[in-house]
Chains A and B, each alone.
Chain A
């Protein structure tokens, strides 16, 4: 099966600019996740979708970050305006099931490395 696709792989922007990341999950996966991984830290969940509805966005900085999942398939994550501390790898993941079985493994894309200067 095709894996989780993410683009772009790398992005360099100046602070206060905007940026968008795209993710295409594995076909048939109902749950889609965006994680932020800062250098030296574990992935931190930003937002979780179940089909095209948001399940958890408690750690998403909503004043600058936004995300959507169109028709329950592809997803985009946007940052506007970017800050220096947003420099990180943004990982998209998908899984088969969510409720009520919480043991579906996550399948990750290769991530987008964002550098904000």
Chain B
């Protein structure tokens, strides 16, 4: 079964600092990968997705992620954190063939310090 591991359930950064949220996947073939964001009392929203077209994927709100097959990683980055980025971020995986079945990681809560 496919899965993702998010390292660090809580990450704190200063406003203006680099944001790096880590995600490693487990799959025998390169899967589809996603990052979602969840603000308090809301559902999840898609930030970006990897579908094998390009290894560096740009998403909304200045976020991007790079697919690295050799490291089985799909880390999320943003050069400069804003207060509005404080939220919980989920990495997710779906098989690249057959029915779509999206499995989520446990999430990383991002705190931005003024």
Contacts and interface: CB of A to CB of B under 8 A. Distances in A.
Contacts of B103: 45
A76 to B, nearest CB: 18
Query: Could you tell me the dominant secondary structure of chain A's interface residues?
Result: loop
Given A42-B90, A42-B107, A103-B94, A97 B100 contact: yes
Query: Could you tell me the dominant secondary structure of chain B's interface residues?
Result: loop
Contact of B102 (A33, A41, A109): A33
Contacts of B45: 108
A55 interface: yes
Interface residues of A, number: 32
Given A56-B99, A98-B99, A99-B99, A43 B94 contact: no
Interface stretch (B11-19, B36-44, B62-70): B36-44
A103 B104 contact: no
B49 A105 contact: yes
B96 interface: yes
Contacts of A50: 99
Given A91-B44, A110-B41, A99 B104 contact: no
B49 A42 contact: no
A31 B42 CA distance: 21
Contacts of B94: 102-103
Contacts of B105: 42
Given A42-B104, A43-B90, A105 B34 contact: yes
B100 A95 contact: yes
Given A91-B43, A97-B100, A103-B49, 18 more contacts: A4-B43, A40-B9, A42-B104, A42-B107, A43-B90, A45-B102, A48-B99, A91-B44, A93-B43, A93-B44, A95-B100, A101-B100, A103-B94, A103-B96, A103-B100, A105-B49, A108-B45, A110-B41
Rank and list the top 7 A-B pairs by shortest CB-CB distance, nearest first.
A108-B43, A102-B100, A42-B104, A105-B46, A103-B51, A103-B32, A98-B100
Interface of B: 9, 32, 34, 36, 41-46, 49, 51, 90, 94-107
